[in-house]
A and B are shown apart, each in its own frame.
Chain A
Amino acid sequence: MSLHTSTIHELSAKLKNREISSVELTESVFARIASVEDRLRSYITLCRESALAEAKRADERLKSGDDSPLLGVPIALKDIFLTDGVLTTCASKILGNFVPPYDGTAVARLKAGGAVIVGKTNMDEFAMGSSTENSAFAVTRNPWNVERVPGGSSGGSAAAVAADECIAALGTDTGGSIRQPAACCGIVGLKPTYGRVSRYGVIAFASSLDQVGPMTKDTTDCALVLEAIAGHDPADSTSVPAPVPAYAKSLDGKVKGLRAGIPKQFFIPGMQREVEQTVKDAIRKLAQEGVEIVEVSLPHTEYAVAVYYVIATAEASSNLARYDGMRYGYRAPAEDLAETYFKTRQEGFGPEVKRRIMLGTYALSAGYYDAYYLKAQKVRALIKRDFEEAFQKCDVIVGPTAPTTAFKVGAKTADPLEMYLSDIFTISVNLAGLPGLSLPCGFDSENMPIGLQIIGKHFDEATMLRLAYAYEQATEWHKKKPKLS
């Protein structure tokens, strides 16, 4: 078995007993990138030189007996994370030459733990999209079929993990941007509870919804990465000072008597039949493992997409007001100040970003605020209440991650609303601030991966991971690799 195809927990043991070095492992990952990257375009920026230097330092630490779980492990970062001295574009022309002067908290924690940073992965511009087609630089391809999208917005991270172009990756999830690409690429992706991981040094899209999370080859790795990045950070006033459990230790396979709620609103007309069948099979499998299956109702699910595209765009229009061409980023040549603003933003932002800025500005503008923004915030309260009531009857909620498997490149670019509906099962989780995880549970007839979504109570990532691990132990889906030779 090649080094780059392994998981963190497999490699960690070999690194610790000096069977392999981090330098060898890092070389193996870059050799893999060299052989597949021209077909996939998972990365915007590669950090070969600094990665090898970090690997060398990791080998020194390993020699001294340091047993940090991520020490010497090559990890990729979505290009939304600020990285000291490394180009950070958010896949936008407006940040095309931006080199941050510091590391965001999640990145700093990975580095402190000795992780080797492979590079910055492609994404939808400003994390706005569900297919990674909205990148200003390239379209990332799905390793299972290069005619298809990898999902989005963390599509580069998902493709890189699935194609073994890194051992694990970080993504961000505002309405499904970790879970949906994880499902599309057949990997594990976890969006933590809002407040669990610091957003400091993460380029803001919608601040009341954005969260940082791991994208990995299996559940154990997911637990290990989450443990490394989670926890209170004074630099993010919304990060919560709650203790971080030892997630990896909670993977004990004990799920007997655990109650999984199945919302009937997550099985709807129009979803791909094979997705529905496969997810129902997975739920039966959970029942065989001793999980108690209960029916629950989330009656406001059908309003989630509408609520999200009011709230997320309103927040985005405000967050993206900072791109004015003055202190950093792109500045268009112009005659005066006003023209500089207008031309910089017109030339710097791509079509989807402009569409969302327009929508958000409209929703917040005088005369429309009550009808759109305030109304959406009220329905958001109803969506959150649905989950609170459902969780009276169960410990986790289980359903599909996305209504279909990965679609073809170009299939949904003409109709923005149809693209938005790709996130129909993931969006409500962000609105309610809950943790959600996607893990592989099968394939459709075209051999495209299907994701099973597990939703937990606030700050109860441990139970979600425990259930995911138990399912993984009983199945082989997470071990399947794309035949990208």
Chain B
Amino acid sequence: MKITREEVQRVALLARLQLSAEEEISLTEQLDHILGYMDKLQQLDTEKVAPLAHAVDVVNAFREDRAVNKPQAEKLLANAPAREKTFIKVPKIIE
């Protein structure tokens, strides 16, 4: 086994996903299968290879620190799941 149900539960906690019991079972099986396939990467000797994060070389792209977006509070607030006046309403975080 590459991954156990307990590990699936731990990862789901990190990812903020509340999985059902059926999902935990099927994901354990599927992830095990996929991770097993990924084992083929271990066949390669990469001791002397530098990791590649981006395929095209771009150095830091600087630009002037100046706001270019027009203020559009109403359009943004219209997308909020809950609002009060000009505020986005969120669940209480302080007791």
Bind each other: yes
Taking Cβ atoms with an 8 Å cutoff, the residues of A that contact B are 97-99, 101-102, 193-195, 208, 234, 237-238, 240, 300, 302-303, 305-307, 309-310, 317, 321, 324-331, 334, 336-337, 340-343, 345-346, 349, 351, 354-355, 357-359, 361-362, 365, 371-372, 374-382, 384, 416-417, 420, 431-434, 458
List 17 extra interface pairs beyond A345-B16, A349-B17, A382-B44, CB under 8 A: A101-B76, A102-B72, A194-B55, A306-B40, A317-B15, A327-B76, A340-B91, A342-B17, A345-B18, A355-B31, A357-B15, A358-B12, A362-B31, A365-B11, A378-B50, A379-B49, A381-B49
7 residue pairs, one from A and one from B, having the closest CB atoms: A433-B55, A377-B51, A331-B81, A101-B75, A328-B79, A342-B18, A378-B46
> Out of A307, A372, A377, which one reaches B53, CB within 8 Å?
A377
Which residues on B sit within 8 Å (CB–CB) of A416?
Answer: 30, 33-34
Q: How far is the CA of A132 from the CA of B20 in the complex (A)?
A: 25
What would 16 A/B residue contacts be, using CB atoms closer than 8 Å? Answer: A97-B79, A101-B76, A237-B60, A240-B56, A306-B37, A317-B15, A326-B90, A328-B81, A329-B79, A331-B82, A337-B90, A346-B19, A355-B30, A365-B14, A382-B46, A458-B56
Q: How far is the CA of A209 from the CA of B34 in the complex (A)?
A: 21
A358 and B27 within 8 A (CB): yes
A358 and B80 within 8 A (CB): no
Q: A208-B54, A379-B46 are in contact. Are A337 and B92 (CB under 8 A)?
A: yes
Taking Cβ atoms with an 8 Å cutoff, the residues of B that contact A are 3, 7-8, 11-12, 14-19, 23, 27, 30-31, 33-35, 37-38, 40-42, 44, 46, 49-56, 58, 60-61, 63, 69, 72, 75-76, 78-82, 88, 90-93
From residue B9, how far is it (CB to closest CB) to chain A in Å?
Answer: 11
Report the number of A-B residue pairs with Cβ-Cβ less than 8 Å. Answer: 163
Which residues on B sit within 8 Å (CB–CB) of A431?
Answer: 55
Nearest A residue to B69 by beta-carbon distance? A102
Which residues on A sit within 8 Å (CB–CB) of B27?
Answer: 354-355, 358
From residue A456, how far is it (CB to closest CB) to chain B in Å?
Answer: 13
A326 and B55 within 8 A (CB): no
Q: A237-B61, A358-B11, A416-B34 are in contact. Are A208 and B55 (CB under 8 A)?
A: yes
Q: How far is the CA of A371 from the CA of B35 in the complex (A)?
A: 11
From residue A26, how far is it (CB to closest CB) to chain B in Å?
Answer: 26
Which residues on A sit within 8 Å (CB–CB) of B33?
Answer: 416-417
From residue B27, how far is it (CB to closest CB) to chain A in Å?
Answer: 6
A362 and B52 within 8 A (CB): no
From residue A227, how far is it (CB to closest CB) to chain B in Å?
Answer: 20
Q: A193-B56, A357-B17, A362-B3 are in contact. Are A378 and B51 (CB under 8 A)?
A: yes
B79 and A98 within 8 A (CB): yes
Which residues on A sit within 8 Å (CB–CB) of B38?
Answer: 306, 309-310, 372
Q: How far is the CA of A160 from the CA of B72 in the complex (A)?
A: 33
Q: A336-B92, A357-B17, A365-B11 are in contact. Are A101 and B44 (CB under 8 A)?
A: no
From residue A44, how far is it (CB to closest CB) to chain B in Å?
Answer: 17
Q: A101-B75, A381-B51 are in contact. Are A354 and B31 (CB under 8 A)?
A: no
Q: How far is the CA of A71 from the CA of B78 in the complex (A)?
A: 32
Which residues on B sit within 8 Å (CB–CB) of A342?
Answer: 16-18
B44 and A432 within 8 A (CB): no
B34 and A309 within 8 A (CB): yes
B12 and A380 within 8 A (CB): no
Which residues on A sit within 8 Å (CB–CB) of B80?
Answer: 327-328
> Out of B7, B52, B58, B91, which one reaches A238, CB within 8 Å?
B58
Q: A99-B79, A302-B40 are in contact. Are A240 and B58 (CB under 8 A)?
A: yes
> Out of A98, A343, A377, which one reaches B18, CB within 8 Å?
A343
From residue B14, how far is it (CB to closest CB) to chain A in Å?
Answer: 5
Which residues on A sit within 8 Å (CB–CB) of B37?
Answer: 305-306, 417
> Out of B52, B56, B91, which one reaches A378, CB within 8 Å?
B52
Q: How far is the CA of A58 from the CA of B10 in the complex (A)?
A: 55
Nearest B residue to A346 by beta-carbon distance? B18
Q: How far is the CA of A373 from the CA of B16 in the complex (A)?
A: 21
Q: How far is the CA of A431 from the CA of B51 in the complex (A)?
A: 12
Q: How far is the CA of A81 from the CA of B51 in the complex (A)?
A: 31
B88 and A381 within 8 A (CB): no
Q: How far is the CA of A376 from the CA of B76 in the complex (A)?
A: 38
B56 and A433 within 8 A (CB): yes
Nearest A residue to B27 by beta-carbon distance? A358
A337 and B17 within 8 A (CB): no
Which residues on A sit within 8 Å (CB–CB) of B23?
Answer: 351, 354
Which residues on A sit within 8 Å (CB–CB) of B69?
Answer: 102
Which residues on A sit within 8 Å (CB–CB) of B46?
Answer: 375, 378-379, 382
> Out of B41, B44, B54, B75, which one reaches A433, CB within 8 Å?
B54
Q: How far is the CA of A378 from the CA of B42 in the complex (A)?
A: 11
Chain B CB within 10 A, most for which of A309, A359, A365:
A359
